[in-house]
Amino acid sequence: MLNRYRGEIYLITGALFFSFNGVISTLVLDHLSPFRLTQVRCIGAFAILFLIVASRNFQSLKATRREVPILVFLGIVGFAAVQAGYFLGIQRGVPLSLVLIIEFTAPIWIVLWIKFVQKKAVPNGMWGGIVLAFIGLIFIAKVWDGLTFDLLGIIGSLISAFALAVYFLVGSSVGKKRSAQSITVWGLGMAGLTWAIVMPVWQFPFEVFTMDMNLQGIFDGTYLPGWVLIAWIIVMGTIVPYLFVVGGMLKLTPSTSSVMGMLEPVMAGAFAWIWLAQSWAPIQLGGAAIVLVGIYIADKAKIVATSDK
């Protein structure tokens, strides 16, 4: 039973860690820009994971000449561009809720690619599940509140969506020959290098590591040094969830994996509710339920399609 659903368990676990990381990141973002946090996150995660994987099995990190361009492309687009487009949308004033909605159109683009480019059959349940989950996200985000349109911001959000689709499609293909650890090391390494080129490391505000940061919410008045929270973001908010997500992605189809990713906004809202007292309206709770039903239907469609082969 567990083996049958191992991919789903990995993806749900990864979404859980990514979602909780959203709360910790919120605390740090009061003292550090989003782009700088992403930079230290990628570079730090790469350095730690590279040392661990290289010490255990350095051969797994080696790549042939044919593999290198694909791995570099996956790192720059599937890791760095997802974050760059996401933050461009926020920086241009597009509401976070709308940025997330646009980003999570990725499953739609993936299914369209599979249907019309790869010419493969897509179960009706997959279409229905994606549409339901997407509608649920709209209810959770309440995108009609304070809707702002900015062309560059919308373009950035779309870039994030397309890059996320590439992440699942290319990642699944690369994973046929490489381990989750190897893919994650290459991805984080290329993303870290990209951010280092865009923003010189020597200009990084290193004083953030020694700042005392308020934990806010239910822990308001409790302070921790910046390095503790950033270390959490690097290890538990980046390395651990990426390994789970990539591991799950290698066991499922790109379409199913991307739909499972829609759990992140639901879990992130739950953590924000518990920690930061950001309560949800009834329509948002209904949206969360719709997302869960949509994900179940999409995953069931995958199981039926697999068993019919």
42-52 pLDDT, tens digit each: 999 999 999 99
Rounded-to-integer distance, Cα 292 and Cα 295, Å = 5
Q: Is the pTM of this model over 0.75?
A: yes
Mean pLDDT of 22-40: 90
pLDDT band at 307 (very low <50, low <70, confident <90, very high): very low
Residue keyed to tokens 């990995």: 10
171-221 pLDDT, tens digit each: 988 988 899 999 999 999 999 999 999 999 999 999 999 999 999 999 999
Give the per-residue pLDDT at 308. 43
How high is the mean pLDDT of the chain?
89
- Contacts for 291 with CB less than 8 Å, ≥ 6 apart: 132, 133, 136, 137, 140, 262, 263, 265, 266
